[in-house]
Chains A and B, each alone.
Chain A
């Protein structure tokens, strides 16, 4: 399996990564190399093996339902570029 330039552009767009045209070819080649390794993995016979969703054979610990985090707005917003009335401000988005 190998990718096309259009697919690379689309993936970059979905991930909001700026990808100048001259870099697209380099990225395409690198990703295709990764994909060829994945192709190798795909060739392994996995018949009868249950898929894993995680590399570790442990399960999710659960926490009790208790409020442990108090209001830290001032500290968290100290690093934000723009805030007003307790809100984070971002460039205008309209549905």
Chain B
């Protein structure tokens, strides 16, 4: 029996505002407990919420970036439930009329790509934080996070398995950072996902009963959690059981999902329009102003990069972050359009590797884009072999100066003079008669050994492509 896994994601992206959704308290991370919780956030009687313009604009920006419908008029609603870190007894959210509806996101699926439809995105406020460590048998409440603006982005259940879900989450993560509405810091909880997972027999069109896995705060955990959960549901069904709709938590230590203790009463949020907040109206002119301020989006940029002759995977990798795409463009601008592929190879390979090892963002790369372009110019004009270029790159990374300075100082000039190389090759051939015989007897390995001898004779400075050519020509005689 084959099964199809169906996943829908709900993502909470914390909007990068200075102040809260409905109050003038700060949103900065890491403040002392309750130092950023004002009278509105702690829900003193008589306070009134006033919506933050920047948060509304960011929601519109997101909607435009995914090609969604922006509702000119949306409504804030109260979602009612009791928990100590929600001092009002309700969360202000949007229910029937969200600000953003529909839209699509392109994701990588295997070697190709897929388009995932979005259901909606709505504005809401975050809750506070409960600290369950022991305070003499009591729970500590920090309301700094209460009222922080969130954009909840809901996908249609169109993701088929853990890989799709992770690809979607990555694409969404890259997009919200790209358009500058969320810092994407998953450790600090700025970008968190809940996954709705169900399974059905291949070919079925009806959705199976789903379970919701809460608070997946890393891509790796998301993949593990969805894989485990799908397996669990398939095993249940194959044993003749049934899936019970419930909320589950992922335990990274054990790599499994577990049911959260279910409350006796099913959730009933009793949503209704918040009488403290008037309908949210976004003017056409404001939407057009935001549209005009949008940067070139990752999808458009990816297509432009692909048209520069890059492979699909490279083009996608380069739009993983806006800073990375900017770096690539700056490098190509300095090196020349013909060098796009060489630039991409070096940025994705050597540079990304070095940044990764050093734990640095590309924006803080010790080798700036024009510097890398200057190095690559020496690769394409034949001055440096690939191996030499790597040596120069390492020296540039270590702060030893510009490429040309390092090349001059270390005497790293590839020997490309045909006459000189021919002489060296002839010399090597004369001294290695046996390898020549072996090669002629059909032993291809002997060829590599001869190349090695030439390299040794030139301290690695011979142009490898030319050496190959000359050797082949000589041996063919």
Q: Which A residues form the contact surface with B (CB < 8 A)?
A: 10, 13-16, 53-54, 56, 58-69, 71-73, 76-77, 82, 84-95
Using CB atoms, name the residue of chain A closest to B149: A65
Provide the B41-78 mask, 1 if CB < 8 A to any CB of A, else 0: 01010000011111110000000000000000001100
Cβ of B82: which chain A residues have Cβ within 8 Å of it?
16
Looking at the complex, which one of A53, A82, A88 makes contact with B279 (CB distance below 8 Å)? A53
In this assembly, does B273 line the interface, its C-beta being within 8 Å of a C-beta of chain A?
Answer: yes
Task: Name the residue of chain B whose CB is nearest to the CB of A15.
Answer: B80
Given contacts A53-B97, A89-B139, A90-B84, could you give 14 more A-B pairs where the C-beta distance is less than 8 Å? A16-B89, A56-B278, A59-B279, A62-B56, A67-B25, A69-B24, A71-B36, A82-B138, A85-B33, A85-B140, A87-B131, A89-B138, A95-B249, A95-B261
Mark the stretch among B15-23, B361-369, B372-380, B463-471 that contacts chain A.
B15-23
Asked if A58 contacts B140 (CB within 8 A), the reply is no
Residues of A with C-beta under 8 A to B37 = 73, 76
B406: interface (CB < 8 Å): no
Query: What residues of chain B lie closer than 8 Å to A15, measured between beta carbons?
Result: 80
- Report if B270 contacts A (CB, 8 A): yes
Interface centre among B52, B55, B75, B138 (most CB of A within 10 A): B138
| Residues of A close to B132: CB separation below 8 A | 92-94
Task: Say which residue of B24, B32, B50, B279 sits within 8 Å of A86 (CB atoms).
Answer: B32
29 interchain pairs (CB within 8 A)?
A14-B265, A53-B279, A54-B278, A59-B280, A60-B76, A60-B281, A63-B52, A64-B53, A65-B18, A65-B19, A67-B18, A67-B24, A68-B19, A69-B26, A69-B38, A69-B39, A72-B38, A76-B38, A76-B39, A84-B135, A87-B135, A88-B34, A88-B84, A88-B141, A89-B141, A90-B84, A93-B83, A93-B84, A93-B130
Q: Say yes or no for B237: interface residue by CB 8 A criterion.
A: no
In the bound complex, residues from chain B placing their C-beta under 8 Å from that of A56 are: 278
Given known A67-B24, A85-B33, A91-B139, contact A62–B53 (CB-CB < 8 A): yes
Contact call A66/B279, Cβ cutoff below 8 A? no
Closest chain B CB from A52 CB (angstroms): 8
Question: From DSSP, what is the main secondary structure of chain B's interface residues?
Answer: loop
Per a CB cutoff under 8 Å, which of A63, A67, A92, A94 touches B50?
A: A63
- Give the contacting residue for B35; candidates A14, A61, A71; CB below 8 A: A71
Q: Decide: A61 and B50 in contact? CB cutoff 8 A.
A: yes
- CB contacts (< 8 Å) of A94 on chain B: these are 132
B337 within 8 A of A: no
**CB-based contact B19/A88 at 8 Å:** no
Chain A residues lying within 8 Å of B97, measured Cβ to Cβ, are 53
**CB–CB A60/B51 < 8 A:** yes
The distance in angstroms between the C-alpha atoms of A10 and B51, with both chains bound, is 33
Contacts of B34 in A (CB 8 A): 73, 76-77, 86-88
Which B residues touch A85, using CB under 8 A?
33, 140
Residue among A10, A14, A66, A95 making CB contact with B24, cutoff 8 Å: A66
Complex interface: chain A residues within 8 A of B18 (CB):
65-67
Q: For the complex, what is the distance from the CA of A39 to the CA of B22, rounded to whole Å? A: 35
Point out the residue from B25, B139, B249, B281 that lies within 8 Å of A90, measured CB to CB. B139
Q: State whether A87 and B33 are in contact (beta carbons under 8 Å apart), knowing that A10-B265, A62-B53, A65-B52 are contacts in the complex.
A: yes
- Per-residue CB proximity of B265-306 to A under 8 Å, as 1/0? 100101001010111110000000000000000000000000
